[in-house]
Structure 1
Amino acid sequence: MKHLLILLFSVAALAQQADAKKWTPFSLTPVGQDTYRVNGMAMGLGVGFPSEDNAEVTINGFNLEINPLAPLYMLFFDPSRVKRDSIYTRVNGLHISTAGLIGNARLNGLGVSLFNAGSASNGVNVSVLYNVNRVMNGLHIAAFGNSVEEKGNGLLVGMGNNAVKYNGVMLGLFNRGETIRGLNIGITNITAGEMTGLQVGIFNRTKKCRGLQIGLWNVNEKRSLPFVNW
């Protein structure tokens, strides 16, 4: 019995030591193979992945990325080719990057970067170029625009905004969506499916209108009218 208790305590101690190796208060990125969680600050080229398949890397705190390849991303990177069907990287807190989160990544908090092409973004995200995510909730600002590939809620501000399903406000020169609930303000506002709310622009078009259109020319399934349509 005594030997059994010693064995159990030894196994428990080894398990605690193994688990302790999986997190750290500070890490250079890409993170090491034994680090699965950073509670504090991560700094370097960008978040990496552990060696185990489907293992997550989580950063709670501040993630600073100084990526010298940012100019190449601007020239050759195509966000539409990035796989974003699951989550392997999570950043909870403040994310600042000369490039951006790419692929199976989720940001919860405040992000400031050149671009953002992850799986999900919740909070406030300001990008120089664009924000492209499957799910976007909160405030997203980008010079060239924002693209929501599945669903989102909040406010999109950019030259062009596109969403499959969105609840909230789109503010840009060109706004486009499949199913929109809320307010669209731009030069052109086009909804391929149902629009519930208000479109304000020079040209407004929706397949199914459940609200009001205000602009020089307004088109919906019932009629085409100048100035005001419903």
Structure 2
Amino acid sequence: MKIKFLLMIGLFTGSIIYAQDSLDTRPDRARIIGFSPAKNTKNVNGMLIKYYDEIDHEIKPKKVNGVGLGCNGLGIFFPALLLVSIPSIDNWAINDIGGEPLPDKMNKINGMQLSIINMEPTITNGLEVNVSSNISAPSVTNGVAVSPLYNFHHTTNGMAISTFANVSKKCRGIQISLFNVCKDSRGIQIGFWNENEKRKFPLINWNFKNKKS
């Protein structure tokens, strides 16, 4: 009896989601549950479910007030590849990080980004939790970024915490990891090895001064 009841709830919920996506052709209307890629998903007040990521020139930016849930299966393989090919300390050259500017088209999440891997340019205002962080995606985090492996960002405003590496072009706040690298840093780095534009230092590094014009 319980199984039949759960099946009925699942079918009912699925039919509502299908009707929402197929009958409403207005992409600007906010949805409670949205899917990506989907031509009619643009604004979501609730949860966005991404089953794979769009490449840069094809991305259709989405605004999410709530949770962005990334289910891209590629995230299962990237962590192992990065662990095998993790560069030596001497190769963490800060001049090579974040060389590309932020793209014009970026997703915006106000709330939480929860992903196996994120490969779309994204601005997260709140909490970001990614297994493989942002691979090939110049992303911005305003808040807290947490990863069991790596955090890769164009800009970090707040705190980045990971096990192996935090890498950013611009940081305003705190980086905590085994390796921390930032080209434009205003804050503190705590880890086995830390690099910013001013110095390379073990255990703890810092920079609170603005660049001279």
1:56 counterpart letter in structure 2: P
Q: 1:34 aligns with which of 28, 37, 40?
A: 40
Contact 2:79/2:132 (<8 A) preserved: no
Cα 1:188–1:140 shift into 2, 3 Å: closer
Cα 1:154–1:85 shift into 2, 3 Å: same
2:167 counterpart letter in structure 1: S
Q: Which has the higher helix share?
A: 2
Contact 2:188/2:204 (<8 A) preserved: no
Contact 2:78/2:132 (<8 A) preserved: no
Q: Which has the higher strand share?
A: 1
TM-score w.r.t. structure 2 length? 0.66
Q: CA deviation at 1:72?
A: 1.8
Cα 1:44–1:88 shift into 2, 3 Å: closer
Instruction: Give the % identical residues.
Output: 23
Q: CA deviation at 1:76?
A: 4.5
Cα-Cα RMSD: 3.5
Q: CA deviation at 1:156?
A: 0.4
Q: Gaps spanning 5+ residues in structure 1: where?
A: 1-16, 198-230
Q: Greater RCO between the two (CA within 8 Å, min separation 6)?
A: 2
The 5 A counterparts of 1:105-116 are 105-116=122-133
Q: CA deviation at 1:54?
A: 6.8
> What whole-Å deviation, never above 9, does each CA across 1:11-33 have from its counterpart, x for those lacking one?
xxxxxx865655312112x2311
> In structure 2, the residue corresponding to 1:32 is in which secondary structure?
coil
Cα 1:81–1:179 shift into 2, 3 Å: closer
The count of residues paired between Structure 1 and Structure 2 equals: 170
Larger radius of gyration: 1
Q: 1:144 aligns with which of 164, 175, 199?
A: 164
Q: Which residue of 2 aligns with 1:89?
A: 107
CA distance in 1, matches of 2:62, 2:194: 35
Does residue 74 of structure 1 match 2:74? no
Cα 1:147–1:20 shift into 2, 3 Å: closer
